[in-house]
Structure 1
């Protein structure tokens, strides 16, 4: 595609992104856009927690460091409503096709009819498991497992002598790391962050059950040092054959089934995120997306890059270079109607099912005053959940009990919310 901005003088844009596999691939393919348009990219590639901190500081102060930011479903509506982001309702490439975006994903990036970010890949979460180890344990994974089954299977699959952990799950502190996992898990146990009057709920029996279950399961069957493991660390463990099961982002499926990267590529099965029979599964909804801060002075070039990176042509480019199984998933209806993709990606159906089953409007069993599944869509959430994540990570490391972590979480969340005027 020849860029919209190719006729103009060549520009350099600065793009901030996360060091996840799909973005690393985008970076490696971007010279094709540079060649077609004559423009250049200055890349700033950061670990997830650091990226969030940097772009949040930059956008809230109007710093103007970046022309394109990689942000998520949490930031897009809040920042869009604050007029911190440029609307993508117009100025995108003609063939970009906003109507092809999956409704659940598009809805999460839209405020009052204005799209503020273009999804690069969309995800929910699900169970990825070793079919050989499940068989060896004499068990069969249901399509829709319960947490109790997961815990029992994890114990049966654990083989400490051969460095195989029955379960890998996020323990690294961060609102988008362990708190994404635990908030979604808590929903399925009937817990919630706040009641209808915005009172913190960490002193509820549901949260105690969630955290105690998680800690016990991880202590029984999780890897050593689990409190330091986030998405990327657990991905590596799974690829090395050291996890019986891993509950995490659906986007990881292409990485665990790719023989070039994964020693267990031909032994992976998929199931829906677990539940406790209360009507909610422990899966989330997220899209890593590209957005333009209002402080950018290169909006046209930025829109041209975003059109390229999130369009159907980019999907075909990845398919051509890396195979259909490795294209960015979870954003477009057309991908899930493409037989070449469905044939190449054994996880496609489970990914779509997981995305479609996530309900950010009604995340918990109980009524809540907020939207968001693995996050609460209020500006204060990131700061609060980062601190709570540290408490829960400390509990996993054995530095405090579940009760101590929950009491401290209740106290700090109450203080922060009162100070914010809720």
Structure 2
């Protein structure tokens, strides 16, 4: 082959490579939460810096996203190059070798700045398999003006007895104000995230040390009975259809006196652009139902995070995007556009050492304290990793099935006792089938 032809072939190869790079498209599956939607609005900053990477967004409701990404990764379907997953999936999927290790995030990423509890929850054997976009624990969000009008003061460590009293006194159905709003929409990450946590408030777990389901234990009975009673008497109508987003909207419209849920909600309910009660919101730890409650309230721990399927052929580009979206620089970008109070919370130690953020975010201290006190590790009487979930493959289907029973109890189509009995029977069958119970 002549030198001219050789050079011509090399030039064609370079041109082809350039075109291929320019046409790299990442399909990103994500949840329709406000922080994720905001990220999509800011990604021009990424594509301007990386013109060879295009982004295709698939934005889904929480329950649907979980179904889609689980099916895709288990079947190696290849629909997504980047997946939004959480602390439930990472320990399971990484052990199945379904996720690519995040070991090429760049020298300036500063993985050591990730809050230790969150980094540990997203790592297996010291290797990071998902990068946290935002992280959360639980808080009690409440209307300071309504509580004051009721003649009450929020305790430093609220109990469920106090919450019940306050819910009654804050409810005014004639004006459309309900004393309490809680998740009712069925799903292992919707109503069961809340109820699993509430059961822990009363000293119960999903399973005992021998993997026997605990849905008919005293803790679960007390938790679900109180939950249904509170929501029936003092909650909004149609509560069995309300998840995180629906309650966020209700609270922002001034229709909820109290809301126990993810700490990430705090930045939205205190934002005057999104909340009609932004200057009236107070924060307290999650309530407890037993004496000597662990961790000043049974906090949960969650991080919506970005991960890469091990089967992806676009891992280098995917790591480039994840590094950008979960970096310190991204937090600064959001702050420049939306203000420090609106940056994604809960992921980096440096954020909570930033005086601008602490000043702008009245919920910062409470959020960090709740995250640091949440310990999802196995312990005495608890054979699984997780707090509001159990990190075993069977829990996703089981949690959703049990969530349907709890929603039925809330809507009045069955009793609490019948719902818990059905949940227990389903759980025993599933755990026996999985080999956990002999």
TM-score higher than 0.5? yes
Query: Paired residue for 1:385, among 399, 405, 415?
Result: 399
Partner of 2:370: 354
Query: Paired residue for 1:31, among 44, 47, 51?
Result: 44
* C-alpha deviation, 1:93, in angstroms: 2.0
CA RMSD of aligned residues (A): 1.4
* C-alpha deviation, 1:372, in angstroms: 0.4
Larger radius of gyration: 2
Unpaired runs of at least 5, structure 2: 1-16
Partner of 2:59: 45
8 Å Cα contact 1:174-1:390 kept in structure 2:
yes
8 Å Cα contact 1:15-1:44 kept in structure 2:
yes
Counterparts of 1:16-95 in structure 2, within 5 Å, are 16-38=29-51, 39-88=53-102, 90-95=103-108
CA deviation vs aligned residue, 1:60-98 (integer Å, no higher than 9, x gap): 00111111000000001110111000001x211221110
8 Å Cα contact 2:298-2:374 kept in structure 1:
no
Distance, in Å, in 2 between the alignment partners of 1:254 and 1:203 is 37
CA deviation vs aligned residue, 1:143-183 (integer Å, no higher than 9, x gap): 21001101110110000000000000000000000000000
* C-alpha deviation, 1:7, in angstroms: 11
* C-alpha deviation, 1:362, in angstroms: 5.3
8 Å Cα contact 2:200-2:219 kept in structure 1:
no
Query: Paired residue for 2:361, among 345, 364, 376?
Result: 345
Unpaired runs of at least 5, structure 1: none
Counterparts of 1:284-363 in structure 2, within 5 Å, are 284-361=300-377
Distance, in Å, in 2 between the alignment partners of 1:305 and 1:143 is 41
8 Å Cα contact 1:259-1:265 kept in structure 2:
yes
Q: Does 1:197 align with 2:213?
A: no
8 Å Cα contact 2:199-2:220 kept in structure 1:
yes
Distance, in Å, in 2 between the alignment partners of 1:9 and 1:47 is 31
Q: Does 1:176 align with 2:166?
A: no
Distance, in Å, in 2 between the alignment partners of 1:413 and 1:177 is 18
Distance, in Å, in 2 between the alignment partners of 1:362 and 1:395 is 30
Total equivalences in the alignment: 415
Distance, in Å, in 1 between the alignment partners of 2:99 and 2:375 is 25
Distance, in Å, in 1 between the alignment partners of 2:192 and 2:219 is 16
Partner of 2:14: none
Cα separation, partners in 2 of 1:356 and 1:8, compared to 1, 3 Å = farther
8 Å Cα contact 1:227-1:393 kept in structure 2:
yes
Distance, in Å, in 2 between the alignment partners of 1:341 and 1:234 is 25
CA deviation vs aligned residue, 1:346-378 (integer Å, no higher than 9, x gap): 000000011111111257xx6211110000010
Distance, in Å, in 1 between the alignment partners of 2:137 and 2:20 is 39
Q: Does 1:251 align with 2:264?
A: yes
Query: Paired residue for 1:131, among 144, 165, 178?
Result: 144
Corresponding residue SS for 2:21: coil
8 Å Cα contact 1:189-1:275 kept in structure 2:
yes
TM-score (norm 1): 0.97
